[in-house]
Amino acid sequence: MRLGVLDVGSNTIHLQVMDAHPGARPTPATNFKVELRLTEHLNDAGEISQEGILLLHEAIKGAVEHARDSATEEILAFATSAVRDAKNGPEIIKSINKEFAIDLQIMSGDEEARMTFLAVRRWLGWSAGRLLVLDIGGGSLEIAIGDDEHPDATISLPLGAARLTRDFLKGDPFSSKSIKALEIYVDEVLKDTLPYEIKVHSADHFVATSKTFRTLARIAANSDSAKKLQTKNLLTLVPKLGEMSNKERAELPGVSSSRAGQILAGGIVARAILEKLQIAEVEICPWALREGLVLRWLDWMER
């Protein structure tokens, strides 16, 4: 059957249309994407602004029309950190569902981690052993650890690349003072909040998903096909990113102009969590949250 997965994220409104059925891997058919960066539309009251709401409705209208034009039988729609954390998030969800006749749901950070973990497990298989999975999004960092398809422990932290760039980094190039403040904040959050099960993970296989990790791997290897990211490379790469302007970062492999400002914050989070968990290298997995949601939905359909 043909499914549409609508991901209302902190950076992007992304519809991925997939052909899928139980027992088979989901196959991408077509997609629709709008770079909206909802985190930039949060006001001082912690609400998404009216301008942001209007842009969000326009993006979802385009996604729903694309889904219908692509003959999707079902739209699985979810919103992550930006809408989840916005004080007017529930009102926005209600309005969208009424206008477009879809069932957009807010997904918790722990559920994000669980769905992503499932996708990685199915991609790598049981031979990968005990997995530790990391995902840096626009609004949050998700971590999951486990031996099976359901992780033993998960956590979602407010360490997304877009959120941190907005809250901390100033200037172009960014000021050394603002970079240092961000580094201290990330270290403090990781020090105070990581659960014991993740700190003493004893994992066999370390995996990273998300555009942030993929981009960092491409920059470090100077290759669009990079499949691994080493911590030692981040130790030299992150300071270099901090010295660059947005224009210079946009000229790096895999870095779009819209994401050039965020990649430093993403690199700081990646470096900090890999060092904190004493991980020397992560494998980049092409499957993540959207694939995990499709796989779980197919599992439910078989029951």
In a domain, 159, yes or no: yes
Regarding whether 123 and 47 lie in a shared domain, the answer is no
In a domain, 240, yes or no: yes
Residue-by-residue DSSP string for the chain: -EEEEEEE-SSEEEEEEEE--TTS--EEEEEEEEE--GGGGB-TTS-B-HHHHHHHHHHHHHHHHHHHHTT-SEEEEEE-HHHHHSTTHHHHHHHHHHHHT---EEPPHHHHHHHHHHHHHHHH-GGG-SEEEEEE-SS-EEEEEESSSS-SEEEEES--HHHHHHHH--BTTBPHHHHHHHHHHHHHHHHHH--HHHHT---SEEEEESHHHHHHHHHHHT-TT--EEEHHHHHHHHHHHHHS-HHHHHTSTT--TTTTTTHHHHHHHHHHHHHHTT-SEEEEPS--HHHHHHHHHHHHHH-
Regarding whether 207 and 154 lie in a shared domain, the answer is yes
pLDDT of amino acid 224: 86
Q: In CATH, what number is assigned to the domain containing residue 83? A: 3.30.420.40
Regarding whether 191 and 65 lie in a shared domain, the answer is no
Q: In CATH, what number is assigned to the domain containing residue 138? A: 3.30.420.150
Positions in the chain short of pLDDT 70: none
Tens of pLDDT, residues 124-157? 999 999 999 999 999 999 999 999 999 999 999 9
When divided into structural domains, the chain yields a total of 2
pTM score, whole prediction: 0.96
pLDDT of amino acid 258: 85
Peptide bond into 173 cis (omega under 30): yes
Regarding whether 150 and 38 lie in a shared domain, the answer is no
In a domain, 299, yes or no: no
**Domain limits for position 6:** 2-107
Regarding whether 9 and 145 lie in a shared domain, the answer is no
Regarding whether 256 and 146 lie in a shared domain, the answer is yes
In a domain, 294, yes or no: no
Regarding whether 87 and 14 lie in a shared domain, the answer is yes
pLDDT of amino acid 254: 87
